[in-house]
Every structure is written in C-alpha cells, then in structure tokens.
Amino acid sequence: MAGGPLARQGGLLSEEFDDELLVYDEQRDVACRLNHTAALVWRLCDGKRSIDDLVVELGEKADRDMVHVALDTLVEHDLLESGYERRDPAAARVSRRRFIRRVGIAGIAAMNIPMVYSLLVPAASAAASGTGYLGYYGGTVR
C-alpha cells in the first residue's frame, strides 16, 4: 500500500547513538535528538508502511496512539517528507493522553513515549553565549 509516512532525508545530517539519534536540519539550523522510540518510528517511515503496519513492526508494546504520538512529534519537527499531515492539536493531545494512561509512569520512564528534543543552533557569534542545557538553565530544548 502506498502513501504511508515517509521520513525526510534531504537536508538532514544524522549521527546514531546506542538507541538515540541526533539529526541536524541544514535548512533550519535546528538539531533534534530523537529518543529510542521516536528514532525507531522515524527509521520505519519508508512511505510504504501504513500506521497499522508501523504498529505491527513496533511490537506488542505499541498501539495506534503510540504511533500517532511519534508521527505528531516527527511532523512537528519537520522530520517527515510526506504521508502524514499535522493533526488537529486536540486529536494529538487525546492520543498522547491515552498512550500515557496506558503505559503509565513506568512506560514513560522506560522512554516508550516518543520524544524529540530540538535546539536552534546559534550563529557562530552567539555560540559563546549559549543558554545552557535542559531545564537546568532555561535552555532552548523543547
């Protein structure tokens, strides 16, 4: 079946880590860290697999809500080429809430929830005054 979500490849540089992925968007100068689940979904987005196919590929812990959460996050960070449209925020929130309710705190702690953290890479002249990192220092990660 054609028309499944397709991961964007053009204009991106990436570095693989154990179970995470760092992607640099050369068009926007934004760097994104994909956690294990988000990276897994992104790699599976070949434009052929449907959402149901992705659920099957991801195994027994996955469901449609989880895949939607991943795809919502990926499309928000401009990491999908085609095959998935940005959804109504209310629908996205429902999927996220249902998924979190299902996996519980343990699931979130186990990083089952797909997350993408992004950073607007500063211009060279501003790199000296970077804002710090994560919640510690009011960084620009979202």
The DSSP bridge pattern shows strands 6-7 and 80-82 to be antiparallel
DSSP 27: T
Burial call 114-140: b when 16+ CB within 10 Å, e when fewer: bbbbbbebeeeeeeeeeeeeeeeeeeb
- Residue whose token pair is 């928000």: 76
> Torsion angle of alpha carbons 53, 58, 62, 64, nearest 10°?
-30
54, β-bridge pairs: none
Cβ nearer to other proteins, comparing 2 with 127: 127
Task: Write each residue from 60 to 99 as x if it is in contact with other proteins (CB under 8 A), else as -, in one continuous string.
Answer: ----------------------------------------
Applying CB under 8 A, the site for other proteins has a residue count of 32
* Comparison of 39 and 71: residue with beta carbon closer to other proteins: 39
Residue (13 or 56) nearer to other proteins, CB: 13
Smaller CB separation from other proteins, 29 or 46 = 29
117 binds other proteins (CB under 8 A): yes
Nearest by Cα to 71 from 107, 45, 104 = 45
Q: Locate 9 and state its tokens.
A: 């490849």
Indicate whether 119 belongs to the interface with other proteins (CB under 8 A).
yes
- Choose one: 23-31, 61-69, 72-80, 99-107; the region binding other proteins (CB under 8 A): 23-31
Q: Is 22 in the site for other proteins (CB under 8 A)?
A: yes
Residues that bind other proteins (CB under 8 A): 13, 15, 17-18, 20-22, 24, 26, 29, 31, 33, 117, 119, 121-125, 127-134, 136-137, 139-141
